[in-house]
Structure 1
Amino acid sequence: MVIDIRAALETEIETLLSFEEGIIVAERPYDNTLKEGEIHYYNLIELIKSNDAEVLVATVNDEIVGSGYAKILKGQPYQKHSEYAYLGFMYVKPEFRNQGVNQKVVKQLIEWAKDRNLTEVRLEVYDENSIAKNAYLKAGFKPNLVEMRVEI
């Protein structure tokens, strides 16, 4: 199987929105603070158009099978880095999982960040999502901070 990685196109928005829906469905069991009904995490068209972001898709035989984005965010004044790349919108169609799609997308997004002289790449993953956590550990990420909450 040949996996190609390329920039997403605005004309592919329907596929990208279905991927976003897939991400939300997968994350609902980990987060009871998400609203019921249709929600959106991302403004995908804005990300595609942005000079400070890169939205990628993975294709197999011209079929879009995965996605991810990197965007440049400002670091905190107390951090060593003034800017960093934040990764999100990581999705792979179920029938293409465990075949290296996500790894190729992550690798290409990290290269995008390096090309912009960034030295830090971050992402968020639900602590209970062991499959995603293991994929990111395999890609070289390390846990940094666990956000904790209580409903009152």
Structure 2
Amino acid sequence: MAQTRIEIREARKEDLEQVVDLWEDLVAHHSDLSIHFLPASDGREKWSKYVSKKFSEKSTKLVVAEQDNEIVGFMLGMLSPNAPIFKEKTLGTISDAYVRPELRKKGITREMLKVCLKWFYKNKVRTANLSVAAANFEARAAWGQMGFKPHMIMKRMDLDKYPAKDMIARKPKIVRKKVVKGKDKKQSRKLR
């Protein structure tokens, strides 16, 4: 059976419904990794409105992979403002990316990324970033092979479980700096 060509291109308005379908597959995949990714009951509707709005903004690039008139992958790139305290004012962010499982490891994500990276560079952006679910080992490996390096580690705490629940239930203790004989000795004393 002959391989059908996959075209990487900028999305068109008529692609959005299929992109939203793929986004649902992405969310389902992430929901299998963690309950924290479970979508709201109106998640599809909200993301559909979100991506439709973003699609028309100059700060957004939506790239799709098309095979036989069907969208089989997408990547949403955005120009994101950096915190004003940093020299680098704008970052390129890969917000969402997904390729159908049966078409992975064929270079589709890399080709969509090339489009986004060129667009970032054209817009004077010199750093691209993205977030990957810690439990998504396949994606972590794929992005690493494409040159993305760990930069920040985001931690999460469930406030309904120990130790957070225990911390919430207890009254905070006051910790005060103690000055000994006029010297500024850092020694803490807990007061009740």
TM-score scaled by length of structure 1: 0.91
Q: Which is further off, 60-69 or 133-142? A: 60-69
1:145 partner letter = M
**Distance in 1 of aligned mates of 2:69 and 2:24:** 21
Q: Distance in 2 between matches of 1:62 and 1:35?
A: 28
| Equivalent in the alignment of 2:141 | 134
Structure 2 CA distance for partners of 1:118 and 1:142, relative to 1, 3 Å:
same
Matches within 5 A, 1:3-42: 3-33=6-36, 34-35=38-39, 37-40=41-44, 42=47
Alpha-carbon distance in 1 for matches of 2:23, 2:39 = 15
Which of structures 1 and 2 has the bigger CA Rg?
2
Which of the pair has the greater relative contact order for Cα pairs under 8 Å at 6+ separation? 1
Quick one: which amino acid aligns to residue 132 of structure 1?
A: A
The more displaced of 133-142 and 6-15 is: 6-15
Q: How does 1:22-101 map to 2 (within 5 A)?
A: 22-33=25-36, 34-35=38-39, 37-40=41-44, 42=47, 43-101=50-108
- Distance in 2, matches of 1:129 and 1:91, equals 13
Identity %: 22
Whether 2:132 is the aligned partner of 1:125: answer yes
Q: Does 1:112 align with 2:119?
A: yes
Paired position in structure 2 for 1:151 = 158
Q: Read off the aligned partner of 2:142 and give its amino acid letter.
A: A
Structure 2 counterpart SS, 1:27: helix
Q: Supply the distance in 2 between the matched residues of 1:35 and 1:78 (Cα, whole angstroms).
A: 34
Q: How far 1:146 moved relative to its partner?
A: 1.2
Bigger mean CA deviation after superposition, 31-40 or 68-77: 31-40
Query: Runs (4+) of structure 1 moved beyond 3 Å?
Result: 34-38
Note the residue ranges of structure 1 that are not aligned, 5 or more in a row. Answer: none
Tell me, in whole angstroms, the C-alpha distance in 2 between the residues paired with 1:50 and 1:68: 15
TM-score using structure 2 length: 0.73
> Comparing 2-11 with 112-121, which one deviates more in the overlay?
2-11
